[in-house]
């Protein structure tokens, strides 16, 4: 008697397009609501909070956490299937995205920001530089195009998470310029995570790893 199992099958492009469209809608709604509030008329505070990309415990926050958790899950599958010297790197990437997903929902870096004088982004920049150096052997082991695209995805994510955030700290939090900076920051973070997710799903599809069997005893 065969064990019952669960098979996960994903159409990569439609799935990633869906994720991208939802992300773009959230960024657009944030920008549109604050534009209306700035130039036309007052938007109810609760509506602004529900879609504010700079707030916690709302739709954009949970969506961002979901995206990052997607990356962590699928990279974990890649790591589990690998048996070569790159396996520890894949597990480290999966763990890193899991931490980012938890941070997105729990607001860990915001708590850190309130406890220290320098911006957390400064420490984040140093950490990114250290990790980038440590992952050079990993990137060199990949196909050149894939390694380049991984770097592009990372640069996009870091540009939003650190560079735009640092620039935004110089702006008045009540200004419309700050609203646009937040939209750019979160948009870049979502785009970087989505690009990395797509690259990995596409690679998994080519290697026929897009099948997850969970045996039930």
Q: Per-residue DSSP letters for 99-121?
A: HHHHHHHHTHHHHHHHH-SS-HH
Q: What is the DSSP letter of 118?
A: S
Nearest to 188 by CA among 24, 62, 51: 24
How far apart are the C-alpha atoms of 30 and 51, rounded to whole Å? 6
The pTM of this model reads 0.87
Q: Which residues contact 56 (CB under 8 A, 6 or more apart)?
A: 107, 110
The pLDDT score that the predictor gives to residue 108 is 66
How far apart are the C-alpha atoms of 36 and 13, rounded to whole Å? 34
The pLDDT score that the predictor gives to residue 1 is 43
Neighbours of 185 (CB within 10 A): 22
156 touches 120 (CB < 8 A): no
Joined tokens for residue 90: 């894949």
Which segments in the chain show pLDDT lower than 70?
Answer: 1-8, 107-121, 208-217
The pLDDT score that the predictor gives to residue 84 is 87
How far apart are the C-alpha atoms of 158 and 152, rounded to whole Å? 10
The pLDDT score that the predictor gives to residue 94 is 96
The pLDDT score that the predictor gives to residue 163 is 81
The pLDDT score that the predictor gives to residue 197 is 96
The pLDDT score that the predictor gives to residue 31 is 96
């Amino acid at each position: 008697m065969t064990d019952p199992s669960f098979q996960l099958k994903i159409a990569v492009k439609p799935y990633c397009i869906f994720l991208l469209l939802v992300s773009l809608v959230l960024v657009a709604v944030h920008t549109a609501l604050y534009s209306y509030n700035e130039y036309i008329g007052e938007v109810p505070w609760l509506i602004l909070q529900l879609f504010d990309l700079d707030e916690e415990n709302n739709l954009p926050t949970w969506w961002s956490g979901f995206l990052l958790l997607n990356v962590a899950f699928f990279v974990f599958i890649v790591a589990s299937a690998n048996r070569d010297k790159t396996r520890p790197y894949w597990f480290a990437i999966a763990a890193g995205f899991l931490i980012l997903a938890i941070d997105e929902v729990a607001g860990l870096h915001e708590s850190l920001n309130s406890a220290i004088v320098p911006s957390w982004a400064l420490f984040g920049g140093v950490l990114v530089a250290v990790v980038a150096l440590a992952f050079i052997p990993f990137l060199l082991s990949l196909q050149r195009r894939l390694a380049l695209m991984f770097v592009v995805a990372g640069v996009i994510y870091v540009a939003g998470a650190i560079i735009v955030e640092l620039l935004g700290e110089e702006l008045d939090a009540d200004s419309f310029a700050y609203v646009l900076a937040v939209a750019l920051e979160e948009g870049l973070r979502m785009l970087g995570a989505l690009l990395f997710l797509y690259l990995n799903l596409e690679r998994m599809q080519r290697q026929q790893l897009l099948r997850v069997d969970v045996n039930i005893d």
